[in-house]
Amino acid sequence: MSDFEQNGLGPLDWVLILAPYRKDASYTASLLHEHKIKGRATSPAELADLLAQSPGALVVTHEALDPAAIATIADFLRDQPNWSEIPIIVLVDRAASQSRIKAALGAAWPRSRQIFYQRPVAALELISGIQSALLARYRQREVRDYLERETELRLELNHRVKNILASVMSIFEMTRRGATTIEELSEDFRGRLTALSNVHSTVFLAGGEEVPFADVVGSTLAPYRSGELPRVSVDGPHILLSREAATTLALCLHELATNAIKYGALSRAEGHVRLEWKLSPSSDPDLTITWTETGGPLVVVPSGTGYGTRYIQAALTGLFARRPELAFDPEGFRCIAAGPLSRIVRKC
């Protein structure tokens, strides 16, 4: 194992070698192999193609740098992405003018990291320099990965913000159409935004794209379950919802709770709501969610359909591909929604 791997930095990158004269290429490749570094020799004709495969470093002898090779490397350097600065290790004969070569290559390759060694060079010194160059390359690629993750996060954030704003606008428009006073509009809209905020907080705290249904229920119905005798009881198995399904169900639960407070079981001290969900025993189970109210005032079938009822019907139909059952029984309102569990879990 190389020093690079022992430091926990992953496998070494590979080194491209342009040394077409004498045995320079085979000697350098053998030296790299002894230190568990992959080296690949190239001919001038293959240079452009192999550079395009993004080596960790380029080792080149100065006599191989004819105008064509210099131009090929210059083209590669010019097209590098912003994060990239490939290390170029130049081996210069003692008899050659190192200052002249440095000046010429600096002018030809203005965007490059050049490291010069005068031959003959000790094997340990050369290997140490190549390993340092590869470590620098590794750090560059960490920067690349970070930038790519940042770009993905910005795109995802932009997408989610647009979705949230679209939800807010939809909620406002439907609330506005159902409101008869400014106070009613303000109260209902605030409540729906709070429900939307709560479910987004729940999804965030879940730390991923999935959230337990019980957590969604808990955050949405928490205001009605406090005290020694909770007004709302819940029961059901552990189910992980997708982010979208969690948001939809939270808003539906909010509408059911709001309706229960205004007109149903929660409008009286003795009233009670039971929420339960069950899975059918099959390999592709159905989920059934039942909201049942008891102890409230006598229920009558409403003469019109308000925002909450319209939203629940549309949202649950879209979620399960089945229309929910809304039963206005005199003893208490009941809502039953059912459909394939596969429709509300995260699609991998």
The string of pLDDT tens digits covering residues 156-172 is: 667 666 766 766 775 67
Query: Within the chain, which residue ranges are assigned CATH 3.40.50.2300?
Result: 3-144
Give the residue carrying structure tokens 């639960």: 253
Q: Name which residue leads in pLDDT, 191 or 125.
A: 125
Strand partners, 113: 87
| 179-343 CATH pick, 3.30.565.10, 2.40.30.40, 1.10.3720.10, 3.50.50.60 | 3.30.565.10
Give me the pLDDT at residue 171, please: 64
- Looking at residues 229-245, what average pLDDT do you find? 87
Cα 154 to Cα 159, 160, 174, 206, distances in angstroms: 9, 10, 30, 20
pTM of the model: 0.53
| Residue range 3-144, CATH number | 3.40.50.2300
- Looking at residues 208-216, what average pLDDT do you find? 85
14-35 b/e (C-beta count within 10 Å ≥ 16 → b)? bbbbbbbeeebbeebbebbeeb
Give me the pLDDT at residue 71, please: 94
Give me the pLDDT at residue 341, please: 94
Task: Output the six-digit token pair for 112.
Answer: 């490059």
CB atoms within 10 A of CB 327: 13
Give me the pLDDT at residue 167, please: 61
Strand partners, 336: 290, 325
Q: Name which residue leads in pLDDT, 206 or 279.
A: 279
**Mean pLDDT over the full length of the chain:** 84
Is pLDDT of 10 > 60? no
Query: Within the chain, which residue ranges are assigned CATH 3.30.565.10?
Result: 179-343
